[in-house]
Amino acid sequence: MLADTYIPRRLDDVWKVGLWDIDVAAPVLFMAFVGYLAGSKWAFGLALAAGLYASRWLARIKADKHPAFALHWLYWHFPPSPVSAMRATPPSHLRRMVG
- Domain housing 48: 16-77
Centre a 10 Å sphere on the Cβ of residue 44 and count the other Cβ atoms it contains.
18
Confidence of residue 1 (pLDDT cuts 50, 70, 90): low
CA-wise closest residue to 13 among 27, 23, 3: 23
- pLDDT for 29-51, tens place per residue? 999 999 999 989 999 999 999 99
Centre a 10 Å sphere on the Cβ of residue 19 and count the other Cβ atoms it contains.
7
Is residue 56 in some structural domain? yes
Is residue 64 in some structural domain? yes
Number of domains present in the structure of the chain: 1
Is residue 93 in some structural domain? no
Residue 61 CA to residue 13 CA, distance in Å, equals 19
Contact 25, 55 (CB under 8 A): yes
Instruction: Specify the pLDDT at position 75.
Output: 77
Answer positive or negative: Cα dihedral of 26, 29, 34, 35. Answer: positive
